[in-house]
Amino acid sequence: MIDYIFSKSKLGLAPMSEINNKIFRQICKYMGAYPVFTGMISSDAITRNHANSFQLAEFDDYERPLGVQLFGYSFETVSKAGQIINERLKPDFIDFNSGCPVRKVVKKNSGAALLKDLKTLNLILKKLHEAVKPTPVTVKIRSGWSRVNLKEIIRAVEDSGIEAIILHPRLAVQGYEGNASYDLLKEAVSSTDLPIIASGDIDSFEKAVFIMNSTSCFSVLVGREARSNPFIFTNPYVLPDDKDRISVALLYLLRSFLASGEKAFWSSKPYCAAFTKGISHGAELRRNIFQSSSFYELYNVLHDKWERLDESSYPEIVFLVTELKKKASLL
Average pLDDT over the chain, rounded to an integer: 95
Rounded to an integer, the average pLDDT of 277-295 is 95
The confidence band for 263, taking pLDDT boundaries of 50, 70 and 90, is confident
The confidence band for 331, taking pLDDT boundaries of 50, 70 and 90, is low
Euclidean distance between CA atoms 278 and 241, whole angstroms: 9
Euclidean distance between CA atoms 201 and 220, whole angstroms: 11
The confidence band for 235, taking pLDDT boundaries of 50, 70 and 90, is confident
Rounded to an integer, the average pLDDT of 177-185 is 93
Rounded to an integer, the average pLDDT of 107-117 is 97
Closest of 234, 204, 243, 252 to residue 24, by C-alpha: 252
Strand 12-13 to 196-199 pairing: unpaired
What pLDDT, on a 0 to 100 scale, did the predictor assign at position 9?
Answer: 85
Rounded to an integer, the average pLDDT of 248-266 is 93
Can 100 be counted among the known catalytic residues?
A: yes
Rounded to an integer, the average pLDDT of 29-57 is 96
Euclidean distance between CA atoms 66 and 41, whole angstroms: 14
CA angle 36/39/45 to nearest 5° reads: 135
* pLDDT surpasses 70 at 204: yes
The confidence band for 80, taking pLDDT boundaries of 50, 70 and 90, is very high
Q: Where are the alpha helices (DSSP H) in 6-107?
A: 22-31, 43-47, 51-57, 75-89, 103-106
Euclidean distance between CA atoms 243 and 248, whole angstroms: 9
pLDDT in tens, 130-171: 999 999 999 999 999 999 999 999 999 999 999 999 999 999
Euclidean distance between CA atoms 138 and 97, whole angstroms: 9
* pLDDT surpasses 90 at 286: yes
Q: What sign does the CA torsion over 53, 30, 296, 309 have? A: positive
* pLDDT surpasses 80 at 64: yes
Q: What would the CATH number be for the domain defined by 2-233?
A: 3.20.20.70
Q: How far is CA 22 from CA 28, 296, 301, in A?
A: 10, 22, 24
- Stated as kind and residue range, the H or E segment containing 95 is strand 93-98
The confidence band for 2, taking pLDDT boundaries of 50, 70 and 90, is confident
Euclidean distance between CA atoms 185 and 167, whole angstroms: 7
pLDDT in tens, 87-104: 999 999 999 999 999 999
Euclidean distance between CA atoms 42 and 14, whole angstroms: 17
Q: Which of 28, 100, 217, 272 is catalytic?
A: 100
Provide the percentage of residues in the chain whose pLDDT is more than 70: 99
* pLDDT surpasses 90 at 126: yes
Domain spans of the chain?
2-233, 242-327
Rounded to an integer, the average pLDDT of 39-61 is 96
Euclidean distance between CA atoms 65 and 93, whole angstroms: 8
What pLDDT, on a 0 to 100 scale, did the predictor assign at position 146?
Answer: 96
pLDDT in tens, 317-329: 999 999 998 988 8
What b/e sequence results for 268-294 when a residue is b if at least 16 CB atoms lie within 10 Å of its CB, and e otherwise? bbebbbbbbeebeebeebbebbeebee
